[in-house]
Chains A and B, each alone.
Chain A
Amino acid sequence: MTVHIVDYGVGNLYSIVRAIEASGGAPVLATDPSLLRTADRVILPGVGAFEPCARQLRESGMWEAIVDFARTGRPFLGICVGMQLLFDASLEFGHHEGLGLIPGQVVPIPPQDELGLRKVPHIGWRPLDNAKGGTPWEGSLLTGLVPRLSSAYFVHSYNCAPEQRAHRLADVDYRGYAICAAVKRDNITGFQCHPEKSGPVGLKIMRNFLAT
């Protein structure tokens, strides 16, 4: 069960590699875009700010290779900024274009409301929940996990806002504000949280990915 990890100079690839191995898979670090053509499954990692990741993705030649791979219908997983990149654009430090694979934008987490402060970055273990009107977990990378009893690790300052409810796979509540924790559109799944840093829950997500 091979997984190609897009290596475009961003992200903690070591943990993703180890999480795939621990889940019974064979990770391959892909620096050459042409490797994605024949890949069975692809993971797009990403940390830090949106625009530097997007820029490096373009400069590495991976941008087009990812869009092409997504069209093949084979399993594709974006993690953290890798999920944000799936969208049309991000409003982090300006307006920056994303891959456009899922309609919607990436917006700042509102820092304060009548209930008080939401600290940014949003950091912590939050229980994944169903998204209202969203995709059911059964048949997704969350198969076998229980809503509200499966916590995953989040660290981010921006939130994805899918245009279509049906593309939302999981939400977490951040002091009354719905964080888009996961999205799914056909073969494309994204997680705002880090499966490779989310203990047994995360490894279950990885195992599900390997099984698709």
Chain B
Amino acid sequence: MAAASYCIRRKPSVGRLGRHILRNVRLISRLDIKAPNLIKGIRLEGLRVVGDPKEFATRYYGQGVDEIIYMDIVASLYGRNSLGDLLSRTAADVFVPITVGGGIRTSEDVRIMLRAGADKVAINTGAVGNPALITEIAERFGSQCMVLSVEAKQTGPGTWEAYTDNGRERTGLDVVDWIRRGCELGAGEVLLTAVDREGTRTGFDVDLLKAVSSAVSVPIIASGGMGSTQHMMTALDNSGVDAIAMADVLHYNRLTLAQIRAAAADGGYEVRQILDEASK
């Protein structure tokens, strides 16, 4: 795909007839699971049990979250994704898109996850080891369900290396090159995690977000580092990301979805209309 050029600006664009055109942002809650628990880590290690994932997902759904991501963080240990049951139980009453990741290696794994209630699959290790898998999934199920999950660690100014197995294994791949290739192969979306920021609440790696969003034209979900709404605004205003994945700030109740949504709207972005907020 051709490189993207963006109108990255804080104010909405003005289109024909003077209508303001807002850039849309999705607010996604990311739940890292070590079945049966929702856990939280710092820099993708040092895990702490937070609670029951379905309970949290249901609560976020009630608060108007746009999407849910379930990551099985011990899938590589067991050689498979164990979230099928959680997926079905969640999809039973949570009517927003659900993405599942962790240990997905074959298109048969994908079929099972989609059948269990997932709308999208996030693949990292499986794609690095077998890039043709991306194309296979995109062709069989559609690129809209094929999310390329990338864990990025900075190696120098303006360069990042892709990691697998929850930030433990180096791949030797340059993040921007790998993502470009993954999108050419058929990935419909990118989940981009800054390993060094994860759980720190010190803000997103905006240079990383900018580098990747300038290189490809598929939607990008930024993950890792959100501690305040200002972090989110800085990321949105200075890169072309389309969605913000949040874990720590939501799981530990530091911010509510309503607050985060209001901040994005006030900052000039289009967010999901939530009926009870609209009636205020």
- A residues in contact (CB < 8 Å) with B: 12, 14-15, 18-19, 22, 47-49, 111, 115-117, 119-121, 123-127, 146, 148-151, 153, 155-157, 173, 175-176, 194, 196-203
Our pick among A47, A151, A175 for the contact of B273 (Cβ within 8 Å) is A151
B117–A115 CB distance below 8 A? no
Chain B residues with CB under 8 Å of A48's CB are 141-142, 144
B278 CB → nearest A CB, Å: 5
Please report the C-alpha to C-alpha distance between residue A64 and residue B109 in the assembled complex, in whole angstroms: 33
Chain B residues with CB under 8 Å of A47's CB are 141-142, 144-145
Our pick among B93, B115, B242 for the contact of A119 (Cβ within 8 Å) is B242
Given A49-B142, A119-B242, A156-B144, is A124 in contact with B95 using a C-beta cutoff of 8 Å? no
Q: Which of B13-21, B157-165, B204-212 contacts A (4 or more CB under 8 A)?
A: B13-21
Please report the C-alpha to C-alpha distance between residue A71 and residue B110 in the assembled complex, in whole angstroms: 37
Please report the C-alpha to C-alpha distance between residue A149 and residue B271 in the assembled complex, in whole angstroms: 11
B142 nearest in chain A by CB position: A48
A117–B275 CB distance below 8 A? no
Please report the C-alpha to C-alpha distance between residue A146 and residue B274 in the assembled complex, in whole angstroms: 12
**Which residue, of A115, A116, A200, has the highest number of chain B Cβ atoms within 10 A?**
A116
- Beyond contacts A14-B88, A117-B240, A200-B275: 16 other A-B pairs, Cβ-Cβ < 8 A, are A18-B92, A115-B7, A115-B15, A116-B13, A119-B4, A119-B218, A123-B189, A124-B24, A124-B66, A125-B26, A157-B143, A173-B19, A176-B19, A197-B95, A197-B96, A201-B275
Q: Which positions 72-121 of chain B face chain A at CB distance < 8 Å?
A: 88, 91-93, 95-97, 114-117, 119
Q: Does residue B6 face the partner (Cβ distance < 8 Å to A)?
A: yes
B66 nearest in chain A by CB position: A125
Please report the C-alpha to C-alpha distance between residue A117 and residue B13 in the assembled complex, in whole angstroms: 12
Chain A residues with CB under 8 Å of B64's CB are 199
Q: Does residue B272 face the partner (Cβ distance < 8 Å to A)?
A: yes
Please report the C-alpha to C-alpha distance between residue A127 and residue B120 in the assembled complex, in whole angstroms: 22
Please report the C-alpha to C-alpha distance between residue A19 and residue B95 in the assembled complex, in whole angstroms: 7
A196 nearest in chain B by CB position: B95
Chain A residues with CB under 8 Å of B219's CB are 119, 121, 123-124
A-B contact pairs, 27 of them (CB 8 A): A15-B95, A15-B117, A47-B142, A47-B145, A49-B142, A115-B7, A115-B21, A116-B7, A117-B4, A117-B217, A121-B144, A123-B242, A125-B24, A125-B273, A126-B270, A149-B275, A149-B278, A150-B273, A151-B272, A153-B66, A176-B21, A197-B95, A197-B96, A197-B119, A198-B96, A199-B95, A200-B275
Chain B residues with CB under 8 Å of A157's CB are 143-144
Interface of A is mostly: mixed
Chain A residues with CB under 8 Å of B224's CB are none
A196 CB → nearest B CB, Å: 6
Q: Does residue B5 face the partner (Cβ distance < 8 Å to A)?
A: yes
Chain A residues with CB under 8 Å of B119's CB are 12, 15, 197
Please report the C-alpha to C-alpha distance between residue A80 and residue B80 in the assembled complex, in whole angstroms: 31
Residue-wise, chain B 40-74 has the 8 Å CB interface mask toward A (1 for contact) of 00000000000000000000010010100000000
Please report the C-alpha to C-alpha distance between residue A126 and residue B270 in the assembled complex, in whole angstroms: 8
Given A18-B93, A47-B142, is A119 in contact with B7 using a C-beta cutoff of 8 Å? no
Q: Does residue B188 face the partner (Cβ distance < 8 Å to A)?
A: yes
Residue-wise, chain B 174-191 has the 8 Å CB interface mask toward A (1 for contact) of 000000000000001100
Please report the C-alpha to C-alpha distance between residue A47 and residue B23 in the assembled complex, in whole angstroms: 25
**Which residue, of B4, B19, B92, B96, has the highest number of chain A Cβ atoms within 10 A?**
B96
Please report the C-alpha to C-alpha distance between residue A127 and residue B92 in the assembled complex, in whole angstroms: 25
B27 nearest in chain A by CB position: A125
Chain B residues with CB under 8 Å of A198's CB are 95-96
B4–A199 CB distance below 8 A? no
